[in-house]
Amino acid sequence: MRFSDIIAMSAGNLWKRKVRTILTVLGVMIGTASIVVMLSLGIGLKSAMLGEIQSQGSMTDIQVYNYNIYGSGDAKQMTDETMEEFLAIEHVKSATPLLTTWITMEQGKWRTDQQLIGAPQEYLQQIPLAEGSSYPATGTNKLELLVGNGVICDFYNPSNYEYPYYDNGELADVDFINRTVFTKFESVYTTDAEGNYIEQPSRRNIFPVVGMVEGGVEDYNTYCWNVYTDLDALKKYLQDTYRGKAIPGQPTDRNGNPYRYFCYENAIVSVDDMENVEAVQAAISEMGFEATSEMEWIQSAQQEMLIVEAVLGGIGAISLFVAAIGIANTMMMSIYERTKEIGVMKVLGCSLGNIRTMFLTEAAFIGFIGGIIGLIISYVLSFVCNLVLPDLVGYGDAKISLIPVWLVLLAILFSTLIGMLAGFFPAQRATKLSPLAAIRNE
C-alpha cells in the first residue's frame, strides 16, 4: 500500500468519528500546552535570572581578597608581582589591583568616612559617569576624585552623630563639584619605645572632585558606595607624602616600617570564558587568597532552577501521560468498532503491516494535531504570562515565559511520538484480529 493512501485512509477514519477525535485531540492539546508552558516558564525564569546577574556585574570576573593584609610580618601579601602571577594562570585575561585606603571627607559641618580606591585607568574608564563629569587623570601629582552616587547619603554631623539621610531622609547639604571638599587620610599609628600607640594625624587636603558616578542617590551599582582615584597617582602621592613613614592603609613590617612595595587588599581577575572561571578561582585560592565570583551562586541558582524546571515539566508530563491513555483508549474503541472492517480488509488482501501502519498513523495524527494546537495555545498562554507575571515576580519587563524553537520542534515530535506509542498496542491488536470477523453475518 502507498503511504499517501494510508494517510488518506487514516485521516478519513478520524474524520468519520469527528467528535471522538476532537475530544482525544483536546487531551493531547492540554497535555502539550501544559508541558510547553511549564517548560517555557522554567526557561524564561532562568534567562531572566541570568540577565539579572549579568546586569549586576561581569560573570567572568573573579574578586580576589587578601583579608590577611594587616597580619603578622610574614603574611602573604598581594603585590604587583602577584598580579603577574595571576596573569600567568591559563585563561586569565587581566589582573587589576585595587589599592584601598580610608579617607575622611568634610564640607561645612558634614563629615563622612569613605573607602578610597586607587584603580588603573582601564578600570576607571568603565565606570559610568554622571553628566559633566570626567575621569581622574593619571600621571599628575594632584589626586583627582570620582565620587560614587550614594556617598552623599553617608555624611553625618560629628558633633551629634546625626545622619540626615538615614535619620530623616534628607540629604546633607554637600556639593562635591561646586564647593570645596576637604579630604584627609586616616591617621597612622606607631608605637614608641614603651609600646604606647602614637597617632600621627594626616593633613587636610583639597583634592578636586572631577566626577560623579552616574545614577541617583538610591540607584545601586557596583561603584555607588566608593570614591575612586587613579592608582599610579595615589601610589605616587602616598610615597611622596609619607616618605620613610608608615602609609595609611598599608601594612608595616615588624619594626613599624613600611614595605618598599604596595600591598593590595583587593584585585579583580578577568577570565576569558565563563567555563574557566571555576578553574581559575581554584588556582587563586591555591595561592592563599580569597577568591569569589558570581559563578558560585549562579551554579547554585541554576541547580534550584533545574529542580523548578523538573517539577514544572513533571506536572506537564503527567497531563500528557493522561492524554496518551486517552489516545490508547480511543484507538482501542475504534478497533473494536471496526473489527468487521479490519476483517474485510484482511480478506481483501491488506497486509498486516499496512493495517498496523494505518492505526499507528491515526494515533500519530491525533498526537500531531494535538501537539500543533497545544503549541498555539501555549503561545497565547505564554503571552498572557509575560503580560501578568513579571510584575508579580519582580523581574521588571523581562520575559518570564520563553518558547525557544527547539521547544517547538521537540513538543511536536514528542506529542506525535506519544500518539504512536499509545497507538502501538491497539495497532498490534488490530493485526491479530481474525479475517473471519468479516464473514460473520450480524
Partner 1 sequence: MEKQNVVVEVEDLYKIYKVGTNKVRALNGVSFQVYEGEFCAIVGTSGSGKSTLLNMLAGLEHPTKGQIAIRGQHIETMNEKQLVTFRREHVGFIFQSFNLMGTMTTIENVALPLTFRGMPKKERLKRAERMVKLVGLEKHKKHKPNQMSGGQQQRVGMARALVLNPDIVFADEPTGNLDSVTSAEMMNLMRNVVNKHHKTLVMVTHDNQLASYADRIIHIKDGKILRIEDNKDKRKEASAVSEED
Residues that bind partner 1 in the complex, under the rule CB under 8 A: 1-2, 5, 12-13, 16, 340-341, 344-352, 354, 434-436, 438-439, 441-442
Q: Which grid cell is 158?
A: 560629628
Closest to partner 1 by CB, 15 or 161 = 15
Q: Are 329 and 389 in contact (CB under 8 A)?
A: no
Q: Give the Cα separation of 342 and 337 in Å (integer).
A: 10
Rounded least distance, CB 359 to partner 1, Å: 15
Closest to partner 1 by CB, 13 or 416 = 13
Q: Are 118 and 235 in contact (CB under 8 A)?
A: yes
Rounded least distance, CB 14 to partner 1, Å: 11
Outline where 57-149 has alpha helix (H): 80-88, 121-125
Q: Which long-range contacts (CB under 8 A, 24 or more apart) does 338-344 make?
A: 338/13, 339/433, 339/437, 340/437, 340/438, 340/440, 340/442, 342/430, 342/433, 342/437, 343/433, 343/434, 343/435, 343/436, 343/437, 343/438, 343/439, 344/438
Rounded least distance, CB 17 to partner 1, Å: 11
Cα 252 to the chain's mean position, in Å? 41
Closest to partner 1 by CB, 15 or 406 = 15
Rounded least distance, CB 331 to partner 1, Å: 18
Closest to partner 1 by CB, 131 or 442 = 442
Q: Give the Cα separation of 364 and 223 in Å (integer).
A: 58
Q: Are 428 and 420 in contact (CB under 8 A)?
A: no
Rounded least distance, CB 335 to partner 1, Å: 16
Closest to partner 1 by CB, 260 or 432 = 432
Closest to partner 1 by CB, 218 or 442 = 442
Closest to partner 1 by CB, 271 or 335 = 335
Rounded least distance, CB 352 to partner 1, Å: 6
Closest to partner 1 by CB, 289 or 365 = 365
Rounded least distance, CB 328 to partner 1, Å: 24
Outline where 205-265 has alpha helix (H): 231-241
Supply φ then ψ for residue 244, to 5 degrees: 80, 0
Rounded least distance, CB 426 to partner 1, Å: 18
Q: Give the Cα separation of 25 and 18 in Å (integer).
A: 10
Q: Are 88 and 283 in contact (CB under 8 A)?
A: no
